[in-house]
Amino acid sequence: MNFLACRVFNQSGEVSHQLTEMSVDELSAGDVVIKVHYSSVNYKDALAATGRGKILKQFPLNAGIDLAGEVISSESDEFKQGDKVLVNGCGLGEQFDGGLAQVARVKSEFVIPMPDGLDAKSAMALGTAGFTAALALHRMQQNDQTREKGPIVVTGASGGVGSVAVNILSSQGYEVIAVSGREQYHSFLKQLGANQVVSIDDLKLGSKPLEGGRFGGVIDNVGGELLSQLLAHVNLWGNVASIGLADSAKLSATVFPFILRGVSLLGVSSTNCPMSLRKDIWQRLGSDLKPDALDSIITDDVALKDVSSVFTDILDRKRYGRVVINCQ
């Protein structure tokens, strides 16, 4: 059985990708073969496929950290032909052949039965971006994040993770302050439920080690100076979930928010999330955490053959929301 895949190559230090015809035998080892109906493009996928980030651990490798589809064959007792399934993270598109292909072969321990309330397309409208947003809120709620603590700031709000986070938080009854420097997408964020949509300058953040408490918590995609400044403005016992580094991986904060206000800085890692928690989060994404504006979050449905332009657009900040890839 031959199929098409977006495969990434490294030739004399030059990383590039192309649509390649493959057979199952050429794929990374695994005991479950899946017909991929939909995948998605995350920022990490764009970095990997273009070589603008050192993501892939080996070459050549099929891109794509997400997939959803139907089991073709299985050597595992846990899955059978025809089962609807999804995979996200777990080294897909980094260490193992990924989901931007018509067929994938993966280890059964990575595979999640499709949750009630989702199908292949809606699961990939969420993908790792939606999973990360939900995982961030889960960690915050585990640490007693409540609506009464104040509004939640979402930075990088017009991107994939940010837009899903805005809608999930709004659906859960939190007041949401969406931060985006791309004014053309402010109405989109309002549509997703943001109570306020502002630029970084609009926030008028201070530079003191501890500023007046204004926010109940933060879901941050940016890192760097903005994260440091936001920490200083979080109210008593609020939570800050760190999920990205769009600006910088550096953090120059003081301990004052932690020791004087009990603020918690929570790390969110979707790739290596324990499988038991991963399954729980996906079940919730099909039920109580399912965004109520998921159709609006999908801003494009692109064929696999056209995925290359999506990589470039995402890196050039020409995309917003979530782009799903129709692999068939």
The β-bridge relationship of strands 196-198 and 152-155 is unpaired
Distance CA 37, CA 49 (A): 20
Q: Is 284 helix (H, G, I), strand (E, B) or coil?
A: helix
Burial of residue 322 (number of CB atoms within 10 Å: 0-12, 13-18, 19+): buried
pLDDT attached to residue 9: 97
pLDDT tens digits, residue range 223-263? 999 999 999 999 999 999 999 998 899 999 999 999 999 99
Question: Amino acid identity of 228?
Answer: S
Q: How far apart are the first and last CA of the chain?
A: 14
Q: Which amino acid is at 259?
A: I
Three-state secondary structure call for residue 197:
strand
The 10s digit of each residue's pLDDT in 115-130 is 999 999 999 999 999 9
Query: What superfamily in CATH does domain 2-114+296-326 come from?
Result: Medium-chain alcohol dehydrogenases, catalytic domain (3.90.180.10)
Q: Are 228 and 250 in contact (CB under 8 A)?
A: no
Contact between 69 and 35 under an 8 Å Cβ cutoff? The reply is: yes
Q: Quote the pLDDT of residue 1.
A: 83
Residues 6+ apart with CB under 8 A from 14: 51
Q: What does the DSSP assignment read for 210-237? A: S----EEEEEES-BHHHHHHHHTTEEEE
Task: Identify any residues that bridge with 176 across adjacent strands, giving them in sequence order.
Answer: 152
Burial class (CB in 10 A: 0-12, 13-18, 19+), 286: middle
For 26-39, letters b (16+ CB in 10 Å) and e give ebbebbbbbbbbbb
Out of 1.10.150.20, 3.40.50.620, 3.40.50.720, 1.10.10.10, the CATH code matching 128-267 is 3.40.50.720
Q: Where in the chain is the domain with CATH 3.40.50.720?
A: 128-267
Q: Where in the chain is the domain with CATH 3.90.180.10?
A: 2-114+296-326
Q: Where are the beta strands (DSSP E) in the chain?
A: 2-11, 14-23, 32-40, 61-62, 66-74, 84-88, 103-106, 112-113, 152-155, 176-179, 196-198, 215-220, 234-242, 264-267, 298-303, 322-326
User: What is d(CA 134, CA 117) in angstroms, rounded to the nearest whole number?
Assistant: 16
> How many other C-beta atoms can be found within 10 angstroms of the C-beta atom of residue 302?
17
The secondary structure element, H or E, covering residue 51 is: none
For 287-308, the DSSP string reads TTTS-TTHHHHEEEEEEGGGHH
Tell me the pTM: 0.95
Cβ atoms < 10 Å from Cβ of 18: 12
CB atoms within 10 A of CB 297: 24
- Which parts of the chain sit beneath pLDDT 50? none
* Residue type, position 294, single letter: L
Structure tokens at 308: 């290359």
